[in-house]
């Protein structure tokens, strides 16, 4: 199975960066730099070993949704000194639950040591920080969490999750696969996974996730031959599962975009979680996707590349 893209990317960030002569007035794609003067809520991804995870900024959380953070080199340094100052703590979330806090132990550009990391050939990088976790719930040895600068209350639901996720998930996935002209022979070599998410949707507050994915879909996979990918979301309505999202693709392994759920949390306070996915193609830069609930379906509302180099943005 695929290693976490964020962790894998760190392994190649070993060479020093060239310095930029002066900050540009706008980003390379013409976007205006983000205004952080009103101290908006910032969304971070937390990843890596549980004992010393990394933090990386992902987006600004606005009432209207997520927006990318666009800053100059000096702007990112100000961001680092503000948000990644040693001792600053933030709430963390795991699968729709308030999971505890994370505290910064080392920023990107400490005054008494070298920068935390560098990307070969990149002049300006997105800062990261090293931190420690204080979890309220058990956490895996390798974590995939999200954090925000201010607490966002999460829906508390103590009802037991129903049994039968695997059986229902297989039935659901098979129907979507058939409609997408993906046959049983295409699915036979893929790993299957199904579980209930406490999404906050509908009376039950549950969404069923069903997925088929190539076990060789990681960066170390061969990237040869043909494969398929299936990720389906559905909710119960009067005893019937209604599909609310589908990503069903097949074809040459190098061309298929793989997707997997890495976390979810209610980011806008409406009681329904936003789903955070990783998307990638063989030998390509992974992306982080956010799915939001709109008009009864899950729709992609935000996407950002996880290359951490600002130069090309």
Output the tens digit of pLDDT for each of the chain's 313 residues.
Answer: 555 554 444 433 433 333 334 444 455 555 789 999 999 999 999 999 999 999 999 999 998 899 999 999 999 999 999 999 999 999 999 999 999 999 999 999 998 889 999 999 998 899 999 999 999 999 999 999 999 999 999 999 999 999 999 999 999 999 999 999 999 999 999 999 999 999 999 999 999 999 999 998 876 565 678 999 999 999 998 788 999 999 999 999 889 999 999 999 999 999 999 999 999 998 888 999 999 999 999 999 999 999 899 886 5
Residue 261 belongs to domain spanning: 165-305
Whether 311 maps to a domain, the answer reads no
Whether 43 maps to a domain, the answer reads yes
Whether 310 maps to a domain, the answer reads no
| 170 and 293 housed in the same domain | yes
Cα separation, 124 vs 313, in Å, equals 10
Whether 195 maps to a domain, the answer reads yes
| 106 and 21 housed in the same domain | yes
Q: What is the pLDDT of residue 219?
A: 61
Structural contact between residues 232 and 176, judged by C-beta atoms closer than 8 angstroms: yes
pTM of the model: 0.89
> Domain total for the chain?
2
Q: What is the pLDDT of residue 220?
A: 57
Cα separation, 308 vs 73, in Å, equals 13
| 237 and 116 housed in the same domain | no
Cα separation, 74 vs 78, in Å, equals 6
| 113 and 233 housed in the same domain | no
Of 150, 142, 151, 147, the residue nearest 129 (C-alpha)? 147
Whether 154 maps to a domain, the answer reads no
| 144 and 265 housed in the same domain | no
Question: CB atoms < 10 A from the CB of 72, how many?
Answer: 18
Q: What is the pLDDT of residue 139?
A: 94
Structure tokens belonging to residue 268:
């806008």
| 10 and 137 housed in the same domain | yes
Whether 274 maps to a domain, the answer reads yes
239 by Cβ neighbours in 10 Å (0-12 / 13-18 / 19+) ranks as exposed
313 by Cβ neighbours in 10 Å (0-12 / 13-18 / 19+) ranks as middle
| 181 and 139 housed in the same domain | no
Q: What is the pLDDT of residue 75?
A: 95
| 140 and 169 housed in the same domain | no
| 27 and 83 housed in the same domain | yes
| 247 and 197 housed in the same domain | yes
- Which residues are 59's β-sheet partners? 43
Whether 33 maps to a domain, the answer reads yes
| 236 and 196 housed in the same domain | yes
| 174 and 268 housed in the same domain | yes
Alpha carbon distances (Å) from 153 to 96, 102, 150, 237, 276: 10, 16, 10, 27, 17
Whether 153 maps to a domain, the answer reads no
């Amino acid at each position: 199975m695929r290693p976490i893209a964020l962790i894998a990317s760190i392994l190649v960030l070993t060479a020093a960066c060239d310095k930029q002569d002066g900050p540009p007035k706008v980003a390379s794609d013409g976007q205006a730099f983000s205004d952080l003067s009103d101290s908006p809520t910032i969304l971070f991804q937390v990843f890596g070993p549980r004992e010393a995870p990394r933090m990386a900024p992902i987006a600004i959380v606005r009432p209207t949704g997520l927006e990318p953070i666009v800053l100059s080199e000096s702007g990112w340094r100000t961001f680092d000194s503000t948000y990644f100052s040693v001792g600053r703590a933030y709430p963390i979330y795991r699968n729709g639950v308030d999971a505890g806090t994370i505290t910064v132990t080392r920023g990107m550009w400490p005054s008494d040591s070298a920068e935390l990391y560098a990307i070969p050939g990149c002049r300006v990088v997105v800062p990261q920080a090293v931190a420690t976790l204080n979890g309220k719930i058990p956490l895996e040895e390798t974590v995939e969490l999200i954090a925000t600068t201010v607490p966002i209350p999460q829906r508390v639901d103590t009802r037991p999750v129903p049994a039968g996720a695997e059986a229902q998930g297989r039935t659901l996935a098979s129907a979507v696969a058939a409609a997408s002209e993906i046959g049983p022979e295409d699915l036979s070599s893929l790993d299957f996974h199904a579980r209930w998410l406490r999404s906050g949707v509908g009376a039950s507050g549950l969404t069923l996730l069903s997925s088929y994915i190539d076990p060789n879909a990681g960066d170390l996979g061969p990237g040869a031959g043909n494969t398929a990918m299936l990720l389906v979301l559905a909710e119960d309505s009067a005893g019937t599962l209604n599909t609310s999202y589908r990503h069903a693709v097949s074809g040459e392994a190098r061309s298929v975009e793989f997707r997997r759920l890495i976390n979810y949390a209610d980011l806008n306070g409406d009681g329904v979680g936003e789903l955070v996915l990783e998307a990638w193609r063989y030998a390509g830069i992974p992306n982080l996707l956010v799915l939001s609930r709109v008009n009864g379906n899950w729709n992609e509302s935000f996407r950002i590349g996880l290359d951490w180099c600002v130069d090309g943005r």
